[in-house]
Structure 1
Amino acid sequence: MTPKQREKIEADYTFNRIVELDLDPVRGNFDAAHLKEINRRIFQDLPGAGCDDVRPGEFRPPVPKGNDWMKQRGLASVDGAFFVAYSRMDKVALARLDKVLEDAKPIELRKLKTAEFTGRIAKIYVELDYIHPFDDGNSRTLRIFTRQLAKESGYELDWERFNRSDTGRDLLCIARDHCVNELAKPHIQHENTMRNILHTRDRVEGNLALPDLLRDAVRPSRAVAFEQMTEREAVKEHPELQEAYKTLHSAAACFESKMPGKPEAQDAGIDSVMNHIQNRLNAGETTDFSRCCAWEKQERQT
């Protein structure tokens, strides 16, 4: 089997399993066993398809003492080689994995506003990516894991937005690898590894780190529902949206009474209120929508 044939077989089989995971997620506690099961389900078909070296759902063996585990990466939109170093997957790394996963608790993450949640989910991802527990498929496994964690925490994490262009994919790789290399630096064993990592850091300096890059990819599920669903559907799924719609209806009645016979002005006023509510929902707020500067400004103009 040529590398190209192997790549096609892997892409075909794993694509179907990833779709299945979107429809039927792993039922777990967001612990190491949960991670393993996601990886197992993604790659379960490969050993029977001729890729006998694939070990679905198994952590990679530890790197021998004194050695580093480093990968070279090529980017589509930037010339040259880039390097990223990962953990040795030894006992220290396994203990770190368990420690990181202690923060992967939907019941706690649900309490966070959007900005804080984005920082927390990015930190979890970067830590897990540095540990890099599997021989292959870590990125696919971690995207599914963090997307499911976000969903159960009341958020939507749109990794797909970065797959729409080569530039988007490269920006994600740069942001992720930069954060991972910063975690890896204190544990690097060889000068050559350190030289490659520092050279990579110098080349990507000025790019966004992962928490900053994810700011536009993370939104509360109720904010998405308000934007995309009918009122009835949105309130059924997210009862806390009732106050948002109450504010919207009050604004509509207010504009109708103050601007009779001016439907375009009424629509403009309602749009301004909707934008205000949407912005507050995107930020993670669920109350006090009536304090709407855009609404008050529109009233003064009227």
Structure 2
Amino acid sequence: MSAKTRATLERERIEGFYTARRITELYLHPVQGKFDAVHLKEINRRIFQDLPKAGYPSLKPGEYRQAVPPHQDWVKERVMEGISVPSVVAYSAMDDKAIGQLNQTLDGINLTALSALSTENFSQAMGQLYAQLDYIHPFPDGNSRTLREFTRSLAENCGYELDWTRFNIDKHGRNVLCIARDLSVNLLALPHLRDHRTTRSVTLMLDQFAENRNMPDLLRDAIRPSRACAFEEWKEDEAMAAFPELSGAYNILQAAGAYGLRKFPEDRSQREEFIASVRMKIQRSLDAGEVPQGNTYRPA
């Protein structure tokens, strides 16, 4: 093993040790802000705040990376587990135009409008937002961890849960996420590339992974309304305390219980099966972003 490889592995070990703790802290106590540039920078600063004192004084957490020299592109090559073809991804030049684009994207975040979207449309909006911010790639390092926390907290503020951990269970999940991210970023990068060699590499990557899912599509698997999660996982009193709008869902469930008792007075197992089917229908409505209303149960 070369000295350079050993140094890289040691950096990854130290970085992983400190940042994992800081990300957990952010999960418990998120940065409070307006989801603007200041907010984004503060998330990056908090995640990487320990590294300058841990032997990497040149690292400046919370500061943007330097602009790329003219006629050059900022490109990374990613080697994924079990996949022989590397993924080449290109990012913005992080020049004044890119910073302006970053500010415009962040200023366009409207929590009220996002909160009113269905689950499908919210997933699309979050996938597009993530791809745009990832293409700009404002920081020298740690953009993915920063953006995951930024979008997770944003989703939470809009009444949704964005579970990034589902993509880190195994190498397949990690690869699916990497490919979706790089596909979406490269589509945004392609019109702005400066070097014909980068254009060729990015075009090849888009062709090689064309059949894979992009970020807006992928996030449909990771986003659910918070109230839907509460209805599924919490006790009724806890869910109602956090989400009073669930009253209609529980009223329907209670009415269905009374109907089931009349319909199947002597068959407990059939009643339980019936109630489970009603609960599943309510759950599907909640997962779609709908809020069931009513005080009675009407059989189909």
Same fold (TM over 0.5): yes
Structure 2 residue 180 is the aligned partner of structure 1 residue 178? no
What are the Cα deviations for residues 118-174 of structure 1, in whole angstroms up to 9, with x where unaligned? 111111100000000000000000000000000000000000000001000000010
Partners of 1:147 and 1:120 in 2: how far apart? 13
Query: Would you say the 8 A contact 2:252–2:296 is kept in 1?
Result: no
Q: 1:221 aligns with which of 217, 226, 229?
A: 226
Partners of 1:290 and 1:168 in 2: how far apart? 42
Partners of 2:294 and 2:202 in 1: how far apart? 48
Deviation at 1:84, TM superposition (A): 0.2
Partners of 2:73 and 2:62 in 1: how far apart? 23
Q: Indicate the larger mover: 60-69 or 273-282.
A: 60-69
Partners of 2:92 and 2:132 in 1: how far apart? 10
Partners of 2:200 and 2:23 in 1: how far apart? 37
Partners of 2:10 and 2:263 in 1: how far apart? 68
Query: Would you say the 8 A contact 2:251–2:295 is kept in 1?
Result: no
Structure 2 residue 196 is the aligned partner of structure 1 residue 191? yes
Deviation at 1:197, TM superposition (A): 0.4
Query: Would you say the 8 A contact 1:104–1:149 is kept in 2?
Result: no
Tell me the secondary structure at the aligned position of residue 233 of structure 1. helix
Tell me the equivalent position of 1:38: 43
Partners of 2:246 and 2:291 in 1: how far apart? 7
Deviation at 1:288, TM superposition (A): 4.0
Structure 2 residue 150 is the aligned partner of structure 1 residue 150? no
Partners of 1:202 and 1:291 in 2: how far apart? 54
**1:237-252 matched pairs, under 5 angstroms:** 237-252=242-257
Instruction: Tell me which stretches of 4 or more aligned residues in structure 1 moved more than 6 Å.
Output: 289-292
Instruction: Give the percent of matched residue pairs that are identical in Structure 1 and Structure 2.
Output: 48
Partners of 1:72 and 1:78 in 2: how far apart? 13
Tell me the secondary structure at the aligned position of residue 205 of structure 1. coil
Tell me the secondary structure at the aligned position of residue 161 of structure 2. strand
Q: Which amino acid aligns with 2:147?
A: L
Partners of 2:199 and 2:16 in 1: how far apart? 33
Partners of 1:203 and 1:119 in 2: how far apart? 23
Query: Would you say the 8 A contact 2:251–2:296 is kept in 1?
Result: no
Tell me the secondary structure at the aligned position of residue 296 of structure 1. coil
Partners of 2:112 and 2:87 in 1: how far apart? 38
What are the Cα deviations for residues 3-54 of structure 1, in whole angstroms up to 9, with x where unaligned? 1111101110111111111111111100000000000000001011101221
Query: Would you say the 8 A contact 1:162–1:168 is kept in 2?
Result: yes
**1:12-51 matched pairs, under 5 angstroms:** 12-51=17-56
Q: How many residues align?
A: 295
**1:17-96 matched pairs, under 5 angstroms:** 17-96=22-101
Deviation at 1:105, TM superposition (A): 2.6
Tell me the equivalent position of 1:300: none
Partners of 1:174 and 1:143 in 2: how far apart? 16
Tell me the equivalent position of 1:132: 137
Tell me the secondary structure at the aligned position of residue 76 of structure 2. strand
Distance 1:77 1:289, change over 3 A: farther
Structure 2 residue 203 is the aligned partner of structure 1 residue 234? no
Partners of 1:58 and 1:164 in 2: how far apart? 31
Deviation at 1:261, TM superposition (A): 1.1
Query: Would you say the 8 A contact 1:30–1:105 is kept in 2?
Result: no
Deviation at 1:212, TM superposition (A): 1.1
Deviation at 1:289, TM superposition (A): 6.6
Partners of 2:222 and 2:200 in 1: how far apart? 33
Partners of 1:102 and 1:204 in 2: how far apart? 32
Structure 2 residue 101 is the aligned partner of structure 1 residue 112? no
Q: Which amino acid aligns with 2:299?
A: E
Partners of 2:221 and 2:294 in 1: how far apart? 22
Deviation at 1:77, TM superposition (A): 2.5
The CA RMSD over aligned residues, in Å, is 1.4
Partners of 1:98 and 1:160 in 2: how far apart? 28
Q: Gapped runs of 5+ residues in structure 1?
A: 298-302
Q: Which amino acid aligns with 1:69?
A: W
